[in-house]
Amino acid sequence: MAETATREIFLGEGSGTGSGGQNLHVNIGPQHPAMHGIIRILAELDGETVVKTDVEIGYLHRAFEKECEAGGYNNAIPFTDRLNYVSPLINNFGYAAAVEKLLGIEVTERCKYIRVLMSEISRICDHLTCIGASAMELGAITVFLYMIKAREFLWELVEDVTGARLTISYGRVGGVRADLPDGFAEKARKAFQETREVLDEVDRLLTGNRIFMDRMIGVGALSAEQSIAYGITGPLLRAAGVAYDVRKAQPYWVYDRVEFEVPTRPTGDNYARYLVRMAEMEQSMRIAEQALADMPGGAINVDFEGRPIDPASYVDRGKQGKTEGLLLLPVTLSPNLEGQNRRALERVLTHDKRVALPPKETTYGSIEGLMNHFMLIMEGYGIRPPAGEVYVPVEGANGELGFYVVSDGSDRPYRVHCRPPCLPPLAALPRLLEGGMVADVVPTFGSVNMIGGELDR
């Protein structure tokens, strides 16, 4: 039915606006490489001019929201990785923050700083990818290679913290999976220095480049009023002159404790979006460096003499009922248990048995810890927020990323809805493209930075 309607719109008689000829109707995508294999633009062309477009999505629908509703609350964390897979940490933390609001719990101070730090690293990675890929599609392959080199510096940081580069599953309801590794601050500062050097090179290559400017200035423009009407947020809205940023408008975690600016440009075209993203990367590094400098420690429980105990003795004492003071002793762990020990988890997980899994030495060393772990994992128990609903927005790399979660009091969400920041710009894409040249379709589409995973949930 929809296909028939589309055919009537685009192939109806009298569609030509030239000197007696009929306009050409062209499919740009989904097979076109710039369309990622998941977007189809039905374009009506009068010569090289785009007269009309119809944007079709839906080629990558993966039922994210229904999958989240099929399992426990923490089961949705790996699914959030696959939303905006270029900056998955922001997705992890945004979803976790929504469930935490349902539960009425507060994460630790150190966890807040870690979330801010890793979110900003993710944001830089996203912008590097967007600018690099968009420049490559205009022929600036050198810029793409430089940007990917810079992204590698940051992905190594992400891998050090999370154990993975892309699908990281690092967030947890009530905290994060593990603490920062030793020496991370020094390595991060070095990576930021190297990234700034790359951005300086790209700035000298692109910003004043006559060819780049001619292809970008005045192309794909959208006014502030039009952007607001479409519900557009993020770099596209700020490139149109509106200084809206969730981190400033509704500060969360520790964004109200760090200093940063919200870059804007007045013109709302492709060039303005490029400049905004370049400026935002510097601001993100500025935020991350403040988070590293102000990062608080956390409580590490030891006995009054700081004596460690080996796991076998720990278990034996637990079996004999000699548990007095046992949970205050640091345990010398075997390699298979390292990384999830009590001393690290106490810094980054909320102290709430309804939410946070106990560390492994507690699980294996005491019946209380084993029962706590069992109840959180067993189907039908787990995390059980009270009945209610919440909406929590965070500032994703492409704009406001929101999670709406409804609880019916059971161990799995009744409803999960994601507000994806790249859906409104796709709705506005025809307005960006129509009246321009067919050669401008690809750079304009690239400036939107569409991510299929969050678009087709």
Average pLDDT over residues 93-101: 96
- The amino acid present at 20, given as its one-letter code, is G
- Name the pLDDT band for 353 (thresholds 50, 70, 90): confident
Residue 1 clears pLDDT 50, i.e. is over it:
no
- Name the pLDDT band for 119 (thresholds 50, 70, 90): very high
What does the pLDDT read at residue 123? 97
Report how many domains make up the chain.
Answer: 2
Tell me whether residue 305 is in a domain. no
Asked whether 400 and 233 are in contact (CB, 8 A), the reply is yes
More confident residue, 320 or 114: 114
What does the pLDDT read at residue 20? 46
Tell me whether residue 303 is in a domain. no
The last residue of one of the domains, among 377, 402, 425, is 377
317 and 409 share a domain? no
Per the structure block, which two tokens stand in for 144? 């793409």
442-456 per-position pLDDT tens digit: 999 999 999 988 888
Q: Which is nearest to 154 in space by CA: 180, 130, 120, 178?
A: 120
Which run of H or E residues covers position 46?
A: strand 40-46
Chain centroid to Cα 278, Å, comes to: 18
Residue 84 clears pLDDT 80, i.e. is over it:
yes
Tell me whether residue 403 is in a domain. yes
User: Could you list the residue range(s) of the whole structural domain that residue 353 is in?
Assistant: 311-377
The last residue of one of the domains, among 343, 377, 411, is 377
159 and 232 share a domain? yes
58-69 per-position pLDDT tens digit: 888 889 999 999
273-319 per-position pLDDT tens digit: 999 999 999 999 999 999 999 998 764 443 344 566 666 677 777 77
Lowest-confidence pick of 69-78, 258-267, 329-338: 329-338
150-182 per-position pLDDT tens digit: 999 999 999 999 989 989 999 999 999 888 988
Domain CATH for 126? 1.10.645.10
More confident residue, 403 or 14: 403
d(CA 386, CA 30): 44
Per the structure block, which two tokens stand in for 16? 């030509």
- Name the pLDDT band for 321 (thresholds 50, 70, 90): confident
